[in-house]
């Protein structure tokens, strides 16, 4: 039926090489993302705390008692938020805890 069997070898080698390059690219993306997870996450958590403090400061002092993370100290507010960071993308290898304390003016 198939008369040209030499073409099958070339196509097989091409398919194996394409699969190998795709696997190497996925492995590279996984390893580079896995190393930078905590650096990116910590920035996102600090930004989240800052946004939360802005929300609280615009709410007013009389509504601060609704937020258990916020305490009043000498005319300023102290926001303490705790986050848990799971490192690893596919397999969660470890969980670390991070606490952010942010002082801001809540007038």
| Residues 101 and 62 placed together within one structural domain of the fold | yes
| Residues 89 and 52 placed together within one structural domain of the fold | yes
| Residues 55 and 11 placed together within one structural domain of the fold | no
| Residues 58 and 97 placed together within one structural domain of the fold | yes
| Residues 45 and 90 placed together within one structural domain of the fold | yes
Q: Tell me the per-residue pLDDT of 9-66, one tens digit each, with 9 for 90 and over.
A: 888 899 999 999 999 988 887 766 555 445 555 677 778 888 888 887 787 767 777 8
pTM: 0.48
Number of domains in the chain: 2
Q: Is 86 within 8 Å of 92 (Cβ atoms)?
A: yes
Q: From CA 104, how far away is CA 41, in angstroms rounded?
A: 22
| Residues 66 and 45 placed together within one structural domain of the fold | yes
Range of the domain at 13: 1-35
């Amino acid at each position: 039926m198939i008369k040209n069997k030499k073409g099958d070898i070339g196509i097989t080698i091409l398919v194996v090489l394409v699969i190998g390059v795709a696997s190497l690219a996925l492995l590279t993306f996984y390893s580079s993302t896995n190393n930078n997870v905590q650096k990116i996450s910590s920035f996102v958590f600090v930004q989240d705390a800052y946004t939360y403090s802005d929300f609280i400061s615009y709410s007013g002092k009389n509504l601060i008692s609704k937020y258990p993370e916020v305490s009043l100290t000498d005319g300023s507010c102290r926001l303490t938020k705790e986050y848990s960071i799971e490192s690893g993308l596919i397999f969660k290898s470890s969980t670390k805890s991070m606490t952010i304390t942010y002082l801001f003016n809540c007038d």
